[in-house]
Structure 1
Amino acid sequence: MTETVNPEFSESPFSSLDPTGLPEAPTPKVTSAKHAPKSMDRLGQGERLEIRREKSGRGGKTVTTIQGFPTYLGEAKKLKTLKILKTSLGTGGSWNKNTMELQGDRRNEVYHWLKESGFSPVLAGG
């Protein structure tokens, strides 16, 4: 069976419109997880933080762990940091004792975020 093209639909319905009077399209503002938010610009003072990827004991699920946060941050600041990281990376996470855990392998994104925040992150382990 051969299909015939209807001549009424062979041309674009928008080809006769004049685009000269239209305003310029706004450029979308793109935010990147690589850059620390302005409210957290210099959170760290060069402290070494170890970023690891772990799977053991988690049912095969991968998590990114961050250890070595300084004690001067306090619980409220740590929770705020976790919330900002979770939001900027679009992932879940929690604190487990003194270790921040983020769902998935997010080592590179976390590394850049912490570097911009004033820490000295180190990719440790596998």
Structure 2
Amino acid sequence: MSKKISLADWQAQLGASTGAEPTAPAHADSDLVYSTASGRINSKAAPETLGTAYADGALRVRRETKGRGGKTVLTISGITGSAEQLNALCSELKKKCACGGAVKDGVIEIQGDKRDQVTAVLQQKGYQVKQAGG
């Protein structure tokens, strides 16, 4: 039967046998949130990107009414970027079109049928735009 020892004693034995200070495994650093030795660990995670780009690089402006109670909504897909970038672009489009909208799952939704205005604004910003759907 093995003898139970404390974590501090085990670390001391580990450090004495290798001749160095015990360190945590490299894979544990990514999951580490708090350490008693150094306090809260701030991870430097990359900003999360939303949306998926199409192979041709164009944005799709699509008019949809299905599942929305008969209301017309424009969806702009094919944009990739952080949540802040998508929200900023959505805000600009809402101001130019004088309507409401939102960003959902990386797709910008603009209320109403403002395809011509949205397409013009996106082309001014340097995007390649294709009108899709009905």
- TM normalised by structure 1 equals 0.60
Q: Which has the higher contact order (CA 8 A, sep 6+)?
A: 1
Residue 64, structure 1, aligned to residue 88, structure 2: no
What CA deviation, in whole Å up to 9, does each residue of 1:37-59 have, x standing for no partner?
Answer: xxxxxxxxx94100000000000
Identity of aligned residues (%): 37
1:125, distance to aligned residue in structure 2 (A) = 1.2
Residue 91, structure 1, aligned to residue 91, structure 2: no
Residue 51, structure 1, aligned to residue 43, structure 2: no
Residue 122, structure 1, aligned to residue 118, structure 2: no
1:60, distance to aligned residue in structure 2 (A) = 0.5
The residue type equivalent to 1:53 in the other structure is R
User: Counterpart of 1:118 in 2: which secondary structure?
Assistant: coil
Structural RMSD (CA): 1.3
Residue 107, structure 1, aligned to residue 115, structure 2: yes
Q: Which runs of 4+ in 1 moved over 2 A?
A: none
Of structures 1 and 2, the larger Rg is shown by 2
The residue type equivalent to 1:118 in the other structure is G
The residue type equivalent to 2:75 in the other structure is T
What CA deviation, in whole Å up to 9, does each residue of 1:13-65 have, x standing for no partner?
Answer: xxxxxxxxxxxxxxxxxxxxxxxxxxxxxxxxx94100000000000000011
The gaps in structure 2 that reach 5 residues or longer are 1-55
